[in-house]
Each structure stands twice: as C-alpha cells, then as structure tokens.
Amino acid sequence: MYTVILLVSCVAAFGADALPLGKLPKGKVVMALQPHHDDHTTDYGMGGLIARFVDEGYEAYYVRASNDEKDGSHGYARNDMINLREAEEATRILGMKKVISLNWRNDYMGPVPLDELRAQLILLIRKYRPDVILGHNPWEHYQKNPDHRNVARAMAEAWWMAGYENVHPEHVKIGLQPHQASYLYLKARLDWGLGHTPNIAIELNESQVRRKQQAYQTHRNVYANPASARGVKAALARESLMVPEFEGLDDQEAAVRMEEWHMDWISRVRGKQAGVTFAEDYFFVDEFDHLPGLKAYLKENVSAK
Amino acid sequence: MRERVAYARGSAGLPRACALLVCGLFMYTTPAYAAPPLVLVVAADASDFVLAAGGTIAKMAEAGSAVYVIRVTNDEKDSWGLPPEETALRARAEADSAARALGVKEAISLGYRAAELADVSFSGIRDRLIFYIRHYKPSVMFIPNPYSEYDRVLDRYYTGAAAEDAFRVAALENFQLPHGDVGLAPHLTPELYYYAQPLDPRRKEPESTATFVPRPKSVDIASTLPKKLAAAAALKTSNESTARRLKARLDATGRRLPILDTVDESSIKRLAEINVRGLGTTEEFRYAGVEFRIPRKYR
Ligand SMILES: [Zn+2]
C-alpha cells in the first residue's frame, strides 16, 4: 500500500515523463567520440557525466574528430591550435587523461569517407578498450551540422564493429585484439524534434556541476567572450538596470559568470525533471539492447557465476 | 490507428476509389483482393528481413504470392572464427535456405561488402534495385525502414534509403533511359511496407497525421511462426556469432546463461528460437498502400 502511494505521488510530482535515474555501469574506461573541441561539455550534456565517471574510478579519453579551424576569429591554423589547447585544458578539468585529435577538416565531414573515419575510431577503441562510449546521437533529427551527423554515424558502427574479428584484421598484427564497448550514452539537443528522446537521467553532485561549468568556460575562443557581457550590460543600462552580481567584475569575468550560470541553470532544469537537484539526460543504449527478442529472456536468466 | 490485415479475400482494407476501380474492371474475372501476385523484399542482410518481416512474408507466400528477396550485402563480417570470404559463402547459402523456409521463390544477392555501404554510391545501389523492380513488377515491396532509430547496423539504413528512392523512381521514365531499349518499363509498386526490428522505442507512435506519412500497421503472424522459426534456424553462421559473442560478454563479466554453458549446434539453435519467440507473434510495419498516392480530394 505504502509503495503504491509513493509511486503515485512520484508520478504526480514529476509527471508521467519523469526519467529514471541511471546508475553508471561497472567498468574502467570511458571514451567520448565527438566531432569538435567543445562537445565534451555543452548545455545539452556530457561534462557532468564525464566528471562522474572519473569520480567513480573510470579513465576517460576524448577523441576530437575535426580540427575546429572554423571556430574562432584567429584564422584556420591558429583556431585549430587554440581550440585543441583549450580542449586539453577543459577535459583535464573534467579529469580526462588525453585528447586525441583526428584533425579532419572542420565542417567538411559530409564528403569524408565514413569507413575511413570509422577505421580510426575502431583502432582507438581496440587500443583504449572502453567499456562505455559517449557521443552524439546519430538518430537525432534536424541536425544541420554535417560533422555531428557523420561522426555520430561512424561512431554508431565503430563501437560494436571493433569487436568483430573480420573488421580490420590487420590490427591483430600489432597486438590489438577486437574489443566491443558495451554501453553507449547518446546526447543531442532536446528541442530539435522527435529524433532524440532521452530515456535516462544521470544525477550530478555539486562538485561535478562546478567542474562542468569550469570546463565549459575554458573554451574562451568560442564562449565567455567579454563582448557578450558588454552587450548585456549596455542593453540593461539603456533601461537603467544592472545585474548586482556583475558588481566589481570586468567584462571577461562577467562573461565567465554568465557561462557558469548557463551550465548551473541547465543542470538544475534537468535535475528538476528527474526529481533531484542536478542532472543530465541521455539516450542510454544498454549492453543487450541490440537483441530485442532476447532482452527479456536475458534479464530473467542471466546470473552471476 | 493500427490495423490488422488478413491475406484472405475481401476488399475491406482498400480505399473506395481503388476498390471501385479494381472491382469495376475485374469483378467477373478476378477476386477483388487476393494475395498480391508478386512481392519483392529488399534486405540489407540475411537476418533482418527474417526477424522483422519473416512471418508476414511467409503469410503472403502461403496465400499464393511469388516472393523474391534481394539481399544487398554479403554478410561477410558476421561470424565467429571464420574469414570474411568463407563467411560470405556460408551466409549466401544460409540466406537461401532461410528464404526457402519462408516460401520465397528466389533470394538474389547483390554482394556488396557488409558494413561498408557508407561510402558506396547511393544511386548505384538504387539503380540496381530499379532494374529488379522493373523486371519483377511487384505489387508489394518490403524495404528496411530508413527512419527507424537505434539500429546499430547502418547497412539497413543505407539499404532502406536507397530502396525507398528506387521504389519511387522505378515508376518514372526519365530514370535509367537504357532500360527502355531492353524492354524494362517503368513500374509503380502499389503497396510499400517499411520493416524494422523493434529497436526504436517510438516505433508504434504515429509520426504525423499528414496524408503522405506511412501509418503503423501490425500483422498477426501466429500462423506462420513455425516458418519464421525455421528460417531463423537456417542462419547458422550469424546465430553462432550472436551466441558466442553473448557468451564471451557474459564470461568476461563473471555471469552465465545456463543454455550457453555449452555452446554447440543445439544451444545456438535454441537461442535463435528464443530470440524469434521473444519478438512475439505480431510484426509491426509502416505501411503506404494504394491510397498513399491517391490525393485526398479523389478519395
Ligand atoms: Zn560540435
């Protein structure tokens, strides 16, 4: 009886759509396979989850598929270097071990041979042997950025095909064994139509949210631009308004503060939807989800040895 | 808005305009709606069409349809301890016997290398499918649903996208001009089934109420389940790959599944059977029938 009442009040409080809170799977290595320098932490996810994986003992690696030459106002070559450096700094804040840059040309991932990109991902998966892969949802709708769509597609095949001996058998020559990652966490914008519907919420603690905020604003080449704070201040001043929290901050500091609010706000929004303080939402692909006819059977019949 | 279909006689499912046309012309010579005379199934690999649509295909074949399957890839990667060449050969023979178990007349293999469709010319696959569509003149086509989500085998996505376009342009005379010289005429396939295994959590949701969106359709396959089981059992190489990979994963994580304590022919077969039974006795499609192409004002 008690349970029923609790259940009913839960549903009433968070709505029928409240996402279940996910526990992290047991494992040692997590890899994020993403197109760009800054995709480890955005308003729609990941930085907090990476920090939590690290807190729970995982080794974390970041793969940046593009060279990010178009992000920033310093010209292609400099943008590439600055963005890579900032990605290294930001992922270090999250506790990640290494950034591996594939350096494909930014925003030209449309015509890139996907089998070639996938081959690089398979090589890295066999080298680092992740239990978990984080990436962009390849089934997201209305994605206009070809880098996101195509890197996600290459990832969608790489994560399991790396476990097949008949895929790139040449890797065995250098001692790399087939290895399949077992779990996927996919993210995408939630406000872009039907494609990406999260099925799980990951609770974050305060410290994980703080690291996420810091990782985000570390990408100064694209975020936390002093001009944005200057613009906000000027617009408010025209109406004789001001933000008390900006008192004593220069434009750069105020811009950083704004980005921190952004990350804090979105983490609270996702948290509220799941009935906790802070969270991020994902589409989680479990280890046997690719066997829809066997899933229920395995749940019932698999036991510890 | 789900609809159960029976492949018996009767025109209940047909839209008025088409029923009138069909009945008016053929009333005295042909039953209003019998089994479709020719069914063309486009498949990315050996297992997908069996698991997602096998029961429905068998049902049509039983009712008298001539069914042809075109398998786009060669399945060379999906095995355990066999090189790709050997895998492809076995997969071809096994796809043939799976198709036979469903009552399919012929399984054709296009031989594209499995899991390497991403960089294959889209129109290249499409044009080969146009050829077969114009040759067989199907009344029903089955294609992998390219809009289905969360199927990690992207061959099904690439094949479905090419097949969907082939279905459309096979009817248009400005595609593949040389076909006119060899007697292959444009052909419009009246009915289209999009199939997919139940990986997409939203597969039963209507996508839209708009006229030109295929609607969900369920087919009860209880009567042909034995044929679907036999077809799945024929895919020995792929079944062994699934069983051994599952066992390896369980071993590596200190778990066990009693029926895989010994992996042999009988446990592999048993697992494949459990898989088919686990998919249930209903197959879910997106369906675009004749009315799909009749503008609303004429219905
Ligand atoms: Zn990006």
Cα angle: A111, vertex A117, A123; to 5 degrees: 175
Q: From CA B283, how far away is CA B51, in angstroms rounded? A: 9
Q: From CA B261, how far away is CA B266, in angstroms rounded? A: 12
Q: Taking the CA of residue A258 as centre, how many other CA atoms within 13 Å lie in the half-sphere pointing to its CB?
A: 21
What residues does each domain of chain A span? 19-220+279-287
Residue B49 belongs to some domain of the structure: yes
Facing residue for B278 by CB, picked from A194, A283, A297: A297
Q: Cβ of A291 under 8 Å from any chain B Cβ?
A: yes
Do B78 and B238 meet the contact criterion of CB atoms below 8 Å apart?
yes
Q: What is the pTM of this model?
A: 0.88
Sequence letter at residue B116: E
With residue B150 as reference, give the H or E element that holds it.
none
pLDDT at B251 over 50: yes
Contact list in B for residue A159 (CB cut-off 8 A) is 152
The whole-number average pLDDT for the span A257-262 is 95
Residue B241 belongs to some domain of the structure: no
Residue B9 belongs to some domain of the structure: no
β-strand B191-195 against B38-43: which pairing, if any?
A: unpaired
**Residue A77, min C-alpha distance to chain B (Å):** 29
The strand pairing partners of A281, in sequence order, are A201
Residue B289 belongs to some domain of the structure: yes
What's the domain range around B75? 19-220+283-298
How confident is the prediction for chain B on average, in pLDDT? Answer: 89
Cα angle: B289, vertex B49, B164; to 5 degrees: 45
Residue B30 CA to chain centroid, in angstroms? 28
Q: Cβ of A289 under 8 Å from any chain B Cβ?
A: yes
Superfamily of domain A19-220+279-287: LmbE-like (3.40.50.10320)
Q: For A27-68, how does the pLDDT look when each residue is reduced to its tens digit (9 = 90+)?
A: 999 999 999 999 999 988 899 999 999 999 999 999 999 999
Q: For B2-13, how does the pLDDT look when each residue is reduced to its tens digit (9 = 90+)?
A: 444 444 433 344
Sequence letter at residue B213: V
> Into how many domains does chain B fold?
1
Q: What are phi and psi of B220, to 5 degrees?
A: -80, 120
Residues recorded for chain B? 299
**Residue B254, min C-alpha distance to chain A (Å):** 6
Output the pLDDT for position B298. Answer: 65
Residue B4 belongs to some domain of the structure: no
CA of B123 to the centre of ligand 1 (A): 29
Q: For A289-303, how does the pLDDT look when each residue is reduced to its tens digit (9 = 90+)?
A: 999 999 999 999 999
Facing residue for B119 by CB, picked from A114, A289, A292: A114
Q: From CA B64, how far away is CA A295, in angstroms rounded? A: 35
Do B184 and B135 meet the contact criterion of CB atoms below 8 Å apart?
yes
The residues in A 119-178 lying below 8 A from B, measured between CB atoms, are: 139, 153-154, 156-157, 159-161, 163-167
Sequence letter at residue B84: P
Output the pLDDT for position B214. Answer: 87
The strand pairing partners of A202, in sequence order, are A280
DSSP secondary structure, A35-59, as one string: SSTTTTSBTTBSHHHHHHHHHTT-E
Q: Are A294 and B274 an interchain contact pair (Cβ–Cβ within 8 Å)?
A: yes
Output the pLDDT for position A192. Answer: 75
Residue B257 belongs to some domain of the structure: no
Q: For A139-177, how does the pLDDT look when each residue is reduced to its tens digit (9 = 90+)?
A: 998 888 999 999 999 999 999 999 999 999 999 999 999
CATH code for the domain of B216:
3.40.50.10320
Q: Are B77 and A161 an interchain contact pair (Cβ–Cβ within 8 Å)?
A: yes
Which residue of chain B is at minimal alpha-carbon distance from A298?
B257
Name which of A109-113, A261-265, B62-66, B273-277 the model is least confident about: A109-113
Which two tokens mark A123? 């090589």
Residue B12 belongs to some domain of the structure: no
Residue in B87, B149, B240 to test binding to A, most A beta-carbons within 10 Å:
B149
Q: From CA A172, how far away is CA A177, in angstroms rounded? A: 6
Neighbours of B68 (CB within 10 A): 20
Q: Which of A138, A178, A139 is nearest to A160 (CA)?
A: A178
CA of A49 to the centre of ligand 1 (A): 17
Q: Are B150 and A289 an interchain contact pair (Cβ–Cβ within 8 Å)?
A: yes
Residue B288 belongs to some domain of the structure: yes
Interface pTM, i.e. ipTM: 0.87
pLDDT band at B206 (very low <50, low <70, confident <90, very high): confident
Q: Which of A131, A151, A120, A125 is nearest to A36 (CA)?
A: A151
The DSSP letter of residue B178 is: G
Which residue of chain A is at minimal alpha-carbon distance from B151?
A290
Rg of chain A's alpha carbons, rounded to an integer? 21
